[in-house]
Amino acid sequence: MTMVGESHARVILHLDMNSFFASVEQAHNPSLKGIAMAVAGNPKERRGILVTCSYEARALGIYTTMTIGEAKRLCPELVIVPPDFEKYRTASIAVFDLLRSYTDLVEPVSIDEAYIDITSIGGLTHAVEIATEMQQRILRELDLPCSIGIAPNKFLAKTASDMKKPMGITILRKREVESILWPLPVIEMHGVGKSTEKKMHTLGIYTIGDLAQKEEATIKATFGKYGLRLRNRANGIDPRPVDPEAADERKSVGSSTTLPIDETDLEGCLKVFKWLAAKVADRLDKRQLAGTVVMIQIRTADWRNQTRSRTVHNPLYEEQAIYKEAIDLFKRHWDGEPVRLLGITVSNVVPMNELNEQLSIYNFEKYAKEETVNDLLSQIERKFGPGAVKRGNG
């Protein structure tokens, strides 16, 4: 297969495991094959959330993020299995190792998906054969199904892999973007969430084609650089290379700076932290990551290095939240010595698209209760005024 219309033509695959957690459970326990089954955070709690479900369950109208109670009402015989992340990690490593037997240009982007650049191993002429062999080997050797998108860049490859599931292989060429992608609602585009969709609607952008053709200046004014990246992708343009080391970089995202003078003023240090938090937030946004560990680095004028870190419950990715944690650490641990260098690093990072899964598995019940309490507090404060109720520390 030859890709036309790309300078330095590349052929990139996006491999997406189908119903990964459910498929791994079925591979380990064949009695779960061919039936409606789901992996859920807490099978004993009817409010537990489905993290994934088999295609047999999906055919009955069951979907991820449903509560167990809702799913059981639709399908009383639905089999629920608790998650086993060690099992999933082991299967994920086996998949990526198999892909690396073809080429080193494999970039895992989450536990169940990866980009593979096959240009130099015959991809320009034999992409479908290579993809088919990978898919069949993963099925035969690991008993796991996957879908593969074939395209000249990452965005189109990821879009293509979604088009046919399970066990699909789909080619999406740049010249097909206008006919295949442009008519779709903009929410169906990777990288566009509900809040972005709402903002786009205010600009008269309802389809991917509307976004592709909107004036650059309008997009930049409303969405900044991220909006321009989305507009390029809507036009089938995505220059990002497949980077095998990106997975290592994803373990942490940070920024540091040497100060022009040895700083002794708290306000001066806080301004630097504000700038660093903005840089780290921007890098997290570009890579679509969030992390639960915030670390600050302080180098004093006499070249002593200190690091202080904190683990937070909710993954961080916004500038203000990162800044708040960083300056709190700094205020607690800085002894007033002149500062030569400051840094912020966010680590223990995960792709944004995995956050919902983790929330579903571990935190849903807690957040559901928190929401109820918050709603109740809001109602009381509306009636009796702000501060009418104080939260206890217990």
Point out the catalytic residue in the list 56, 107, 113, 325: 113
User: On the CB side of 124, how many CA atoms lie within 13 Å of its CA?
Assistant: 8
User: Does the annotation count 337 as an active-site position?
Assistant: no
Element containing residue 339 per DSSP (H, E): strand 339-351
51 backbone dihedrals φ, ψ, rounded to 5°: -90, -35
Q: What is the DSSP string of 61-129?
A: T--TT-BHHHHHHH-TT-EEE---HHHHHHHHHHHHHHHHTT-S-EEEEETTEEEEE-GGGTHHHHHHH
* Residues 52 and 38: beta-carbon distance below 8 Å: yes
Q: Which residue is it, tokens 């921007």?
A: 282
DSSP-assigned beta bridge partners for residue 163 = none
Beginning with the edge strand found earlier in the chain, give each strand of the sheet holding 305-316 in spatial order: 252-263, 339-351, 289-300, 305-316
Burial of residue 169, with CB atoms counted within 10 A of its CB: 0-12 exposed, 13-18 middle, 19 or more buried: buried
CA pair distance 234, 154, nearest whole angstrom: 12
DSSP annotation of 381 reads H
What end-to-end distance do the CA atoms of the chain give, in Å? 64
Dmax over CA atoms of the chain, in Å, equals: 72
Query: From the CA atom positions of the chain, what is the Rg in Å?
Result: 24
Catalytic residues: 113
